[in-house]
Structure 1
């Protein structure tokens, strides 16, 4: 079976593009919305998202935990945030290889913003049979494309709920 290399989904969030971008471009906040990500640790200078920014993503699936090394490849405020996952390991991302690219594209939509989250499988050198077998073991029966589609839907719904929630007054 041929692999699906890219999966995306979109949602409209009733918030300004700067506010939405501020959240999706902060890897340390992603754990608040993602069903698999626990957040991130920025490597180097602590400043807003920028091309070349490096971070370690902390992840879990069931009882398994792992860390990825990621580098930001696009950081256009209010429009686009993209990063490439290029190393993985249990506690430290020691195995270097093209793994995946994640993208958050923001477009005006009425009074809000259309957010499109995209996952791209960067394991192009893996034969389909090997990748599909690995994926089904790692996700308990699914390809990564199918599995990530569900994660994307959950992440976008959680992000929308958080950004549209009424502000709590002290």
Structure 2
């Protein structure tokens, strides 16, 4: 990765099992319902679930702007980590997204950490700003991560999906 430090990260504790959280974060077609900028995802090829090397397309919007990216799953550790790299439609690296799930120390749920790294070459940044309308990507992604994680928590706790006993 050209940039070692993440540009955005967020963390939330959820009263749900790591398995319940993983089922959602590892399925982009479901996770997309909690996102802010992304609004649709679909697996590419014959893939229907997370596996290293599996690909999906993500559709994004901001105001009237619309664009899509191609994503490749890079990490699949059931109930622990799901990550993928994002590229432009013509194969230029853009970013990496990662979800880490750790059981709470007291056995009451788990902590979900969402992290984003920028992978785009510096020369492409002005084009990305023009395309997306977002000049401050780190601040924008930090806000979006907080929104996404909040919605994920609300969903899991409202549905009582695999909540640990306390």
Provide the TM-score with structure 1 as the length reference. 0.82
1:49 aligns with 2:50: yes
Q: 2:101 matched to which residue of 1?
A: 106
> Equivalent residues in 2 for 1:59-138 (5 A)?
59-87=60-88, 93=89, 95-109=90-104, 110=106, 111-123=108-120, 125-126=121-122, 131=125, 133=126, 137=130
Instruction: State the Cα distance separating 1:32 from its structure 2 match.
Output: 1.1
Q: 4+ residue stretches of structure 1 with deviation over 3 A?
A: 133-142
Q: 2:33 matched to which residue of 1?
A: 32
Q: Alignment partner of 1:18: what SS?
A: helix
Closer, same or farther: CA 139–58 of 1 in aligned 2, 3 Å: closer
Q: Alignment partner of 1:96: what SS?
A: coil
Q: Which has the higher contact order (CA 8 A, sep 6+)?
A: 2
**8 Å contact from structure 1 (residues 135, 144) kept in 2:** no
Closer, same or farther: CA 144–138 of 1 in aligned 2, 3 Å: farther
The alignment's C-alpha RMSD in Å is: 2.1
Instruction: State the Cα distance separating 1:47 from its structure 2 match.
Output: 3.7
Provide the TM-score with structure 2 as the length reference. 0.84
Farther-moved stretch of structure 1 (50-59 vs 31-40): 31-40
Consecutive unaligned residues of structure 1, counting only runs of 5 or more, are 88-92
CA distance in 2, matches of 1:6, 1:156: 17
**8 Å contact from structure 1 (residues 29, 39) kept in 2:** no
Consecutive unaligned residues of structure 2, counting only runs of 5 or more, are 161-166
